[in-house]
């Protein structure tokens, strides 16, 4: 092993060891993985997390009245707790929301957004009995 120079990391490069060389120094695998993970988006969370974050940004305060129910077949389904907001989102903002999600979430292609009103049971009377 005489004649092999080891850099600060203690890793001999192919060029340094006289093994032919590729023109650049070898890097520790951990550094290569860290760089790949940050570029690929793996470190930023799941598709669900990214969609929820983008949704909150697109809706602003109205996002508090919605929740992501699921992702299936490139369709994001959201539950809305207000019929007025549901009508506004379906009739006036749906295409804008789909385009915004596509633009902001690069790791999951949102083909469509489905919106539905949250089902609530019948009102409860004091004492736990349901009203008829």
What residues contact 26, with CB distance under 8 A and at least 6 apart?
11, 12, 13, 14
Which CATH superfamily groups domain 45-117? DnaA, N-terminal domain (3.30.300.180)
How confident is the model over 25-58, as pLDDT tens digits? 888 888 887 777 767 656 556 889 999 999 999 9
Between 54 and 127, the more confident residue is 54
Predicted confidence band of residue 78 (pLDDT cuts 50, 70, 90): very high
State the CB neighbour count (10 A cutoff) for residue 12: 17
Task: Indicate whether 15 pLDDT > 60.
Answer: no
Predicted confidence band of residue 123 (pLDDT cuts 50, 70, 90): low
Annotated domain spans of the chain: 45-117
Phi, psi of 66 (to 5 degrees): -135, 165
Is 80 within 8 Å of 89 (Cβ atoms)?
A: yes
The whole-chain average pLDDT of the chain stands at 81
Task: Indicate whether 100 pLDDT > 90.
Answer: yes
**Prediction pTM value:** 0.59
Average pLDDT over residues 10-23: 53
User: What radius of gyration, in Å, describes the C-alpha atoms of the chain?
Assistant: 26
């Amino acid at each position: 092993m005489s004649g092999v120079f080891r850099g600060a990391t203690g890793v001999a490069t192919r060029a340094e060891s006289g093994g032919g060389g590729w023109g650049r120094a070898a890097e520790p695998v951990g550094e290569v993985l860290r760089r790949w993970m940050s570029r690929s988006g793996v470190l930023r969370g799941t598709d669900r997390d990214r969609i929820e974050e983008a949704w909150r940004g697109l809706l602003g305060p109205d996002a508090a009245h919605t929740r992501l129910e699921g992702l299936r077949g490139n369709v994001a389904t959201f539950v809305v707790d207000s019929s007025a907001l549901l009508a506004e989102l379906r009739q006036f903002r749906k295409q804008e929301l789909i385009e915004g999600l596509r633009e902001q979430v690069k790791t999951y292609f949102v083909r469509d957004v489905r919106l539905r009103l949250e089902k609530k049971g019948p009102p409860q009377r004091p004492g736990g009995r349901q009203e008829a």
